[in-house]
């Protein structure tokens, strides 16, 4: 990697590390990089110079550099990507639950254009999927993976009416769920109910997101209804929690404790 010009310029204008200072060398390095991050000379998503470059720049050992990077990682300022290097962390993505919007629209409203990959478009998988709530006639199943900066962070699974089969796989690659419902099928969404829970990643989702099956995930489930009240969509989103938050703003007091409901483990769905 070629070291960013901003890093070179900053380094040349700063004094070398002070080995006599009470502050350990790794903290001196971490503080200088943190300053680059806080002033946006190292912008979100930008790659940090490699270990070898930092060793050469500051005249320290690999262990010292790794201690500095570990400190920045604990502070949430950088994130390591296996086989790719270390990058400046992005602010967590979020979705406002008080707004009626699709998952991708929520990302675009934050200036983020995610990379998406259609993992599946089946016209009948919903008829035999045991994770679909009982009583829903939504046979079309779409599964899509979302990435930002090349890193996967969510898998979206949507179940749609049989009429959505006419969309076809080719168009499904380009259209989001609400675009299919509203623009292609001509349905008007009148209401959407959302639940959010924590669950361990299934083997399938873990593989698609390149995470361990023991990883805890946010699982958001959304049930959309037309204006007359007919259910036209059920969506389940598996999200890596470190990269996404949900927000809700309501007028007046919000009685959170009274809204908490225990999960009945005997009725909990077993995700495939």
Look at the domain 93-267 and name its fold: Chorismate lyase (3.40.1410)
Q: Report domain extents, the chain.
A: 5-88, 93-267
CA distance 258 to 161: 35
Of the candidates 30, 43, 52, the one whose C-alpha atom is nearest the C-alpha of residue 88 is: 43
State which H helix or E strand residue 200 sits in.
strand 189-200
Long-range contact pairs involving 63-70 (C-beta distance under 8 Å, separation at least 24): 64/25, 64/26, 64/29, 65/26, 65/29, 67/24, 67/26, 68/26, 68/27, 68/29, 68/30, 68/33, 69/30
Of the candidates 186, 178, 195, 190, the one whose C-alpha atom is nearest the C-alpha of residue 104 is: 178
Task: Dig out the tokens for 28 from the structure.
Answer: 């001196």
Which of 90-94, 97-101, 113-117, 247-251 has the largest mean confidence? 113-117
Which of 7-11, 222-226, 247-251 has the largest mean confidence? 222-226
Contacts of 98 (CB under 8 A, 6+ apart): 247, 248, 249, 250
Of the candidates 33, 38, 45, the one whose C-alpha atom is nearest the C-alpha of residue 243 is: 45
Asked if domains 5-88 and 93-267 share a fold, the reply is no
pLDDT tens readout for residues 115-163: 889 999 999 999 999 999 999 999 999 999 988 777 888 899 999 999 9
DSSP 235: E
Q: In the predicted model, is pLDDT for residue 262 greater than 90?
A: no
Q: Kindly report the average pLDDT of the chain as a whole number.
A: 82
Look at the domain 5-88 and name its fold: Arc Repressor Mutant, subunit A (1.10.10)
pTM: 0.64
Residue 1 pLDDT grade (very low, low, confident, very high; cuts 50, 70, 90): very low
CA distance 22 to 110: 42
Identify any residues that bridge with 20 across adjacent strands, giving them in sequence order: none
Residue 245 pLDDT grade (very low, low, confident, very high; cuts 50, 70, 90): low
């Amino acid at each position: 990697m070629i070291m960013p010009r901003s890093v070179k310029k900053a380094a040349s204008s700063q004094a070398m590390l002070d080995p006599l200072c009470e502050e350990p060398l790794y903290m001196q390095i971490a503080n200088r990089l943190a300053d680059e991050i806080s002033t946006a000379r190292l912008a979100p998503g930008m790659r940090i110079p490699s270990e070898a470059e930092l060793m050469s720049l500051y005249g320290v050992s690999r262990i010292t550099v790794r201690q500095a990077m570990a400190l920045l990682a604990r502070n949430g300022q950088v994130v390591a990507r296996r086989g790719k290097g270390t990058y400046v962390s992005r602010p967590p993505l979020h979705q406002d639950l008080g707004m009626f919007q699709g998952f991708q629209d929520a990302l675009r409203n934050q200036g983020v254009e995610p990379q998406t990959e259609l993992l599946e478009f089946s016209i009948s998988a919903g008829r035999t999927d045991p994770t679909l709530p009982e009583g829903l006639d939504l046979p079309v199943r779409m599964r899509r993976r979302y990435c930002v900066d090349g890193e996967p962070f969510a898998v979206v699974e949507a179940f749609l009416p049989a009429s959505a089969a006419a969309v076809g796989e080719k168009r499904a690659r380009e259209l989001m769920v609400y675009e299919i419902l509203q623009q292609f099928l001509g349905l008007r969404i009148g209401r959407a109910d959302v639940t959010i829970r924590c669950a361990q990643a299934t083997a399938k989702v873990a593989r698609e997101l390149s995470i361990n099956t023991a990883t805890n995930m946010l699982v958001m489930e959304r049930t959309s209804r037309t204006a007359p009240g007919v259910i036209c969509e059920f969506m389940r989103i598996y999200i890596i929690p470190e990269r996404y938050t949900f927000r809700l703003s309501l007028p007046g007091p919000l009685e959170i404790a009274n809204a908490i409901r225990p999960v009945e483990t005997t009725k909990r769905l077993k995700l495939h």
